[in-house]
Structure 1
Amino acid sequence: MSDPLMIDADATRWAPGDRDGLPLLVMLHGYGSDENDLFGLVPFLPDGIAVASVAAPLTPPWPSPGRSWYPIEGMESRHPDAVTAAARALLHWLDAAASDAPKIALLGFSQGAAVSLQAMRLDAARFGAIVALSGYATPGDLPDDEELRTSQPRVFWGRGTHDDVIPQALIDHTAQWLPDHSELTGRVYPGLTHSVSEDELQDVRVFLEKWRDGSAD
């Protein structure tokens, strides 16, 4: 049995300096990136929240830069068990680094979105909202999936019409799975590639403001 994945807590970027009592948004970057990437979105996020941008636990094969949450090459390409292992690493990091947060949301891009949704499936009660950008829900069943049909966690799923990175089969699966297992806010942005746009960030801000304020509508 392989050792469990571990997130380097020292690599996490935090904002603001004084975050006691603030709702916490945890950001998970995509393949080949690192904790500095999504941290640049902080000015576009709502006021009154704390932000933690974490570094994925794996290093992609040379010459790819940055970090990865799970392999996307070879026999283990996007394997559900690998996504689940990354999600468990995130939950372990939260146990150690954010046990005092009054409420927690996740924002993930690409691989980070897949891991965010998988973490929701493992421990939905821990999260008040999930923002999944240019990502997907991992195929396969998990023990708590049926419970999600009742609890309906709040999820924002945004993607572009010109995103050619995520396989169409995974997009199709996610488009069927999320409405059945979450309270979904879905947005498709014309012309957007595998990236994030200003229009999408504005929609994300509104979604997170409702989470911050406890709004149900």
Structure 2
Amino acid sequence: MTAEALVVDPAAARWAATPGAGCPGPDAPLLVLLHGYGSHEGDLLGLAPHLPGGLALAAPRGPLLGGPGFAWAPLATPGRPEPGGVRAGADALLAWLDADARVGARPVALLGFSQGGLMATQLLRARPDRFAAAVVLSGFALDAEEPGDAALAARDPRVPVLLGHGDADPVIPPGATTRTAAWLASHAALEHREYPGLAHGIDARVLADVAAFLSRTLPVD
């Protein structure tokens, strides 16, 4: 499959909800969970019990094979992937979102881990007015100028973004994280959290901050 032909398989996407009072209605906020390189659509659904109640969840599968699982873009120099592949992955995700009737006009937020975090930042740049909030965990932003960057920075109020990562991450270079934090600070309403001793992963501190962030930024009843 070429980069120009990437397709997110709607049949592979998993839909769920965070625990709460009943099933979220059609207007409930949707949180799109974007897995990392080599993982799969079920990976981040395990976070559901730790997230605010009343959220609809959608977990798509990356359109590429990668490692033992799937990917959104080809693996390259850590923190500096080839831009064309990243844009193709984001375009495929947007096409999937646009085509699924369950998305509708509800508020949509993004939560991405590692390469999924890269995709979350890229979706914000591709559709500056589309998303209500984003969580980027152990991820980074593409090191390139994008056509939507100026519109994203001009959004008023700016889209809230939580960037969380460990200071002992052996996968994402510190330079990529520093660059991403600076870029987000100039284009979004950034909340930046660095976790001492955390490697490339998610722990209780991260989950607490994510839950608090989503509770503040999404209209959950």
Q: Give the alignment's TM-score, normalised by structure 2.
A: 0.89
Structure 1 runs of 4+ with >3 Å offset: 16-19
| Partner in structure 1 of residue 8 of structure 2 | 7
Instruction: Give the drift of 1:212.
Output: 2.0
Whether contact under 8 Å (1:160, 1:192) holds in the other structure is yes
| Partner in structure 2 of residue 49 of structure 1 | 55
Whether contact under 8 Å (1:131, 1:156) holds in the other structure is yes
Amino acid at match of 1:67: F
RMSD value, Cα: 1.7
Q: Which moved more, 1:135-144 or 1:95-104?
A: 95-104
Whether contact under 8 Å (1:23, 1:101) holds in the other structure is no
Q: Give the alignment's TM-score, normalised by structure 1.
A: 0.91
Distance 1:159 1:122 in 2: 24
Q: How many residues are aligned here?
A: 209
Q: Which has the higher helix share?
A: 1
Q: Which moved more, 1:3-12 or 1:183-192?
A: 3-12
Matched, 1:118 2:122: yes
CA shift digits 1:29-82 (9 cap, x unpaired) = 00110011001111111111100111100002xxx20101111148xx711121
Matched, 1:150 2:159: no
Distance 1:138 1:110 in 2: 12
Aligned counterparts, 1:1-217, within 5 A: 3-16=4-17, 19-60=25-66, 64-73=67-76, 78-97=81-100, 98-151=102-155, 152-213=158-219
CA shift digits 1:68-107 (9 cap, x unpaired) = 1111148xx7111211111111110100124414100000
Gaps of 5+ in 2: 18-22
Distance 1:103 1:86 in 2: 22
Q: Identity of counterpart residues, as a percentage?
A: 43
Distance 1:27 1:116 in 2: 9
Distance 1:100 1:123 in 2: 16
